[in-house]
Amino acid sequence: MGPIPLLLLLSFVVSGVESEEDYTWHLRKVPQVLNKRTVTLSSPEFKAEAKPALNGTCGIECQSRLPLASVSDLENFLSYETVYENGTRTSTEVYFRDFDVQAVHAVMKDSHSRGKRQVYGMDSRFSISDKQFVTNYPFSTTVKVSTGCTGILISPKHVLTAAHCVHDGTDYIKGAKKLRVGILKLRSKRGGRKRKGSKRNKRAAEVKPSFQWTRVKRTQLPKGWFRGVTDDVAVDYDYAVLELKRPHKKKFMELGISPTVKKLPGSRIHFSGFDNDRPGQLVYRFCRVSDESSDLMYQYCDAQPGSSGSGIYIRLKEPEKKKWKRKIIGIFSGHQWVDVNGMQQDYNVAVRITPLKYAQICFWIHGNSADCQYG
């Protein structure tokens, strides 16, 4: 589906897509993810090749056969690595406070609901063609990562994206050495001068969206993504946070803890990205979530390479208010080949923001746990 008129798109985004039932954001106390020990590592080699899809990753059926993770396992998976702009690297071990691992396992058991395999059908993506609309909230929160992925603004200095956009599970990809983030802004461009004596010396200015690129100061991603920590790259941990060298002035989107599918308006999610098959266009889509685990959402949103790392968001009512508020509840990992009962099958997969992941990402943003007690 190509470019569509602004008013028609607004009818999808504001009224036609999201149910008016009483869905509300409920703040909940989150566990604390605290730094235990940080050590300096050798500089990464940046030799990995970027890949649009991950083969042989462990999906929902595969995960159901694995032993339940202990607190020690989860602390290992959520320990993280930081790469700085100058190429230096550190590894940080973490520990938890106020964390109930049994509650996590209960959520996993209650949330699982295998749905029938669906056909993707016709392309249901919408290209955002209006130049003012594409640079206004919520679409303005979508950014382009120089490695060919998408990201979303989560603070004046931070971008959330997929881990595989910067790391293949073994090493950082080549393009991550000089990582940049592009934010769409409206810019005026004038044509060449007319001949002498003309009434107008310059052609009228043309206003069009273009990227303003900013260098990344540091990159942080969980060790659960690394081969060797897990048996293979784990889609559950396919997320990373990029800290920008210079803060932006755009409105960002807040993080939220992912509710179960039953608590999503219409069971739908939304996200925008820079799909490779539509160069220069921001592409928006929405779809129903078909299945979920404690860490993943399986869905059939139409997407192409380039949209990986997009922020998955929903809109719920604010407590005791009539206003609706959008929050990011996941990261689009992309088209994945996953192990389903011993066979490889393709799905589009998103990583859910769990209470632990919320606490970790919030800590990366603020540098302390005091600002990350509720989500």
Instruction: Judge whether 244 and 159 are in contact, CB under 8 Å.
Output: yes
Token pair for residue 217? Answer: 């100061």
Question: And the tokens for 261?
Answer: 């599918």
Q: Say which of 308, 310, 333, 339 is annotated catalytic.
A: 308
CA dihedral angle for residue 254, residue 258, residue 262, residue 267, rounded to 10 degrees? 60
Q: Which residue shows structure tokens 């607190």?
A: 71
The DSSP secondary structure of 264-322, one letter per residue, reads SGGGEEEEEE--TTSTT-EEEEEEEEEEE-SSEEEE-----TT-TTPEEEEEEEPTTSS
What is d(CA 183, CA 209) in angstroms, rounded to the nearest whole number?
10
Q: Is 232 a catalytic residue?
A: yes
- Rounded CA-CA distance 331/353 in Å is 8
CA distance 249 to 157: 9
Q: Is 198 a known active-site residue?
A: no
Catalytic one among 232, 302, 335, 369? Answer: 232
Nearest to 190 by CA among 207, 205, 208: 205
Of the candidates 69, 70, 71, 75, the one whose C-alpha atom is nearest the C-alpha of residue 35 is: 75
Is 308 part of the annotated catalytic residue set?
A: yes
Cβ within 8 Å of residue 65, ≥6 positions away: none
Listing DSSP states for 60-115 in one string gives HHHHHTSPPPPHHHHHHHH-EEEEETTS-EEEEEEEEES--HHHHHHHHHHH--PP
CB 21 within 8 A of CB 131: no
Q: How far is CA 5 from CA 8, 284, 327, 363, in A?
A: 5, 13, 25, 40
Active-site pick, 158, 164, 167, 248: 164
Closest among 349, 358, 303 to 126, alpha carbons compared: 303
What amino acid positions are annotated as catalytic residues? 164, 232, 308
